[in-house]
A and B are shown apart, each in its own frame.
Chain A
Amino acid sequence: MRGHGVLGSAVALCVFALAVTAGGAAQPVGQQVVLPGPVPYPTDNPPLLGRTPLPPAYLGPLLHISSTDRVVVGVGPDGRPVRVVAHQRLLVHGKGDYQLAISVPVEDVQAAAGSDSEPGLRTDQVLWAGFSPGRKVLAANVTLRQRAAGKYLPVHLRLRRAGDRVTLTVINTTPTAESLYAGTTHRAELAGLLDATRRASLAGQRLTGAYATFFGRVRVPKQKVPIEAPIRVEGELRLPGQAPVPFSRTLGDGQPLGFRVEAHGSGTPHVRLLARPVPVVRLLRPPGAATWVDAVRRRPLPAAFLLRRLLETRMRLVRADQYQSFLSDPDADGRSRSVYEYETVAASAPRVAAAPSDGGGGTSGLLVVAIAVGSVALAGGGLVFWAHS
């Protein structure tokens, strides 16, 4: 239930709405411009939304709820999701009443092991009501409507067989186009903000509100940039009688948004994959110094580069935070964590594609995204190189 919505993607909106001008036109004065994070989220989903209006909710003033979602995705022989079940565990801290409704495209819900209460079900709503004597576990297995939930999963898989070769393609599907903004700024201040953002990211903390000082006009370039949630994926592709092919990558954070794994042999391939949103690490690493402040002291990194890096990394952290709540946490200030487990569930062999001799059959989406990210990384790298030269 954190702030989200398509309008949320208009970062510029926040920028101008919250800008505090110092007044006076005689000389250029700084204006405090709000930076991305912790909200709003750039898209409506996730957390998933149902179609029905929610009844009034109540959460006692002394109560806090943290949420952990384990999203189990059953994939078919072609790698597409055929079943999505979210195991949500809400931990209620404090003494008081709660009446909660979670909006979600739900088919069915059952109490999960360890739950202190039974969930209720309405059309597109999971309900909880009761009293917490100090601590209470509300755990449910929420069977989601696959078509409604599947399109918001952070990773898509494709399995193809050509002869004795099976190819698994894994793609980060979280990128969304967002607006940046530009203007005249203080390099030292931006460096300090980058360091603060980096500390929060490495500590796994949610962003807190932050401002940067702009002098003169704040511009919003027409061209939007793709912003992804960095996703860590680990797993294996296995064929009967063959050694499993393990993989472990971070998709995003300046690295490609997809990859392929191949295995050889006959029989039905089996995939297991664990995906989780992770902090921004690589893009927040200061060039040639321990901190961004030191880096700026050593060489004059352009303020435009620093600003863009600050905005993009904060947007990525917001996007990653968004995917930490696949199902809503009824406590807007609660801590949410989500992991996504994919596993093949169909016994039949994957759909046999026409033998793609050049492998071109499944490249389009992956390559487009990879090229886009590559070019962004190259541009960033070029700036760093320029700064070092």
Chain B
Amino acid sequence: MRRSVALLAGFALIAVLAGGCGKKSAAPGGKIVVAVDVPVTGSPYIAETIKHGVQLAASSTSSGTGGVLVGGKNYGLKVKVYDNHASARQAVENTRSALDAGAVAVVTDGTGVQATWQLAEQKGVPICITYDGASGLVDPAARPNVFRIAPTNHGIAFRYAEYLIPKGLKIGLLHDDSAYGQEGASDLDRAFSENPRSVALRMTLPAGTADLSAQILRARRSGATALLVWGQPSTIAAVLTAARSIGWNVPVYAPPTGSDPYIRQRLADHPSWVDGLTFASSRLTAEVGTTPFENFQSQYESAYGVDEVGVKTAGGKPVVQPPEFAMYSYDCVNLIVAALTRAGSTDPRKVQAALNQVTVVGANGDERGFNQHNHEGVVDDDVYFARFHDMTYAPVKDDPLSSTLPAIPQTR
């Protein structure tokens, strides 16, 4: 008798446990389209890394929770990739196509946003920029649907002023004539406007020109003791080539393009010419440590392999590129997912409004989010400086923030 009671109780327990383990699944809601508009044929590295970040977040959402729970229904995320060829005109076409496809949000490098935001705003669709830091692109009052997770030109320029002016350098402010270079130059002008004595000269360089020896000679003759070059990776490589080939070991500073693999590939035959190149970008790790970013990097590499730079260290180890911009697009999609859930609707306008109210833990462990007054997901304070040595870079030690940051492993 006692045995049968125990048996019965055992069955009852199992039944209860089984019931508890069962998961109530939400009704399927179909697919939610997230469009990715990137310069696949213009800047392939940037396009690939942004695309991979979006895809990784979308697949994590599907595999982790089985989809996005929106208003009691479970949706899958569908990523549609468009190639804008680094052309604003093409970006407009792509945005139209994405809207026709019912995209709930557009993730972009920033190409053509000056023209595309209004199109998207007509349907209330949010745009998330994950590369271009140009000032004026993001304005919560005038462009309520434009958000950005990427270091801003404004933040980088002012952090450079804060970093370089106390060093007593005479700085040559160089920029190329690409849109990126010109936008950066205007932020540099503002940042250094109150300390004109720190500036030795300002000069515009032709983008895409391999030989800048005449311009660099002029910069040297101006008395510059440092060069801050705001331009495409090819421009930075050309400046380094021109300066080092005449034996001028002037310190060279750059915006985030300074970390582009192109520069190291271009100068692979002269690795010492890259040594000392300093660039500014947003920190890859939070104060909580390197673990969150390393986990993200591990996920990223499992899915897409390492981003090989194509050069080796002096010791013969292949150099890889940390997935920095993938981190931004990854966080952006996670914020869109959080906004969808909070909005309880796939109506883009509601998602856009909810984007102002949600926070997620970013790939680097930092809290990531926007608010009603600020659509920048990277605060200016998070801009740090890193310097190359032996084809890899590490945070500098003479800046309060950078000195607290660990180096991210970049060899395999």
Contact = CB atoms under 8 A, between A and B. Distances in A.
B398 to A, nearest CB: 12
Interface string B272-315: 00000000000000111000000000000000000000000000
B212 interface: no
B367 A121 contact: no
Nearest to B369: A55
16 contacts: A58-B288, A95-B404, A97-B286, A117-B379, A119-B373, A120-B372, A121-B372, A121-B373, A121-B374, A122-B357, A122-B372, A127-B371, A129-B367, A133-B400, A133-B401, A134-B400
A24 interface: no
B189 interface: no
A133 B163 CA distance: 12
Interface string B350-367: 000000110101000011
A55 B372 contact: no
Contact of B373 (A120, A133, A134): A120
Interface in B311-357: 356-357
B211 interface: no
Given A122-B356, A130-B379, A130-B382, A99 B366 contact: yes
Contact of B371 (A60, A122, A130): A122
Interface of A: 52, 55-56, 58, 60, 95-97, 99, 109, 117-123, 125, 127, 129-131, 133-134
A118 B366 CA distance: 18
Contacts of A56: 359, 361, 367
Among B361, B369, B371, B380, the one with the most A-chain Cβ atoms within 10 Å of its Cβ is: B371
A317 B277 CA distance: 59
Nearest to B162: A133
Contacts of A129: 367, 379, 381
A199 B33 CA distance: 66
A150 B313 CA distance: 65
Main secondary structure of the interface of B (DSSP, over half): loop
Interface string B64-91: 0000000000000000000000000000
B164 to A, nearest CB: 16
Nearest to A61: B287
B357 to A, nearest CB: 5
A56 B400 CA distance: 25
A285 to B, nearest CB: 49
Contacts of A97: 286-287, 366
A99 B381 contact: no
Q: Report, as a range, how many residues of chain B touch the other chain.
A: 20 to 34
A237 to B, nearest CB: 39
B292 to A, nearest CB: 13
B162 to A, nearest CB: 9
B305 to A, nearest CB: 32
Among A95, A117, A133, the one with the most B-chain Cβ atoms within 10 Å of its Cβ is: A133
Contacts of A125: 371
A117 B158 CA distance: 13
A117 B287 contact: no
B361 to A, nearest CB: 8
A365 B361 CA distance: 50
Contacts of B356: 122
B372 A117 contact: no
Given A55-B359, A122-B372, A117 B366 contact: no
Given A109-B373, A120-B374, A121-B373, A130 B381 contact: yes
Contacts of A127: 371
Given A55-B367, A55-B369, A121-B372, 20 more contacts: A55-B359, A56-B359, A58-B287, A95-B404, A96-B287, A97-B286, A99-B366, A109-B373, A117-B381, A118-B373, A118-B374, A120-B373, A121-B371, A122-B372, A125-B371, A129-B367, A130-B380, A130-B382, A131-B381, A133-B401
Give the top 10 A-B pairs by smallest Cβ distance, nearest first: A130-B381, A133-B400, A120-B371, A55-B359, A131-B381, A97-B287, A121-B373, A121-B372, A122-B371, A120-B374
Given A122-B356, A122-B372, A60 B287 contact: yes
A120 B359 CA distance: 13
B367 A123 contact: no
A14 to B, nearest CB: 34
A55 B356 CA distance: 12
Contacts of B361: 56
Nearest to A63: B287
Contacts of A120: 371-374
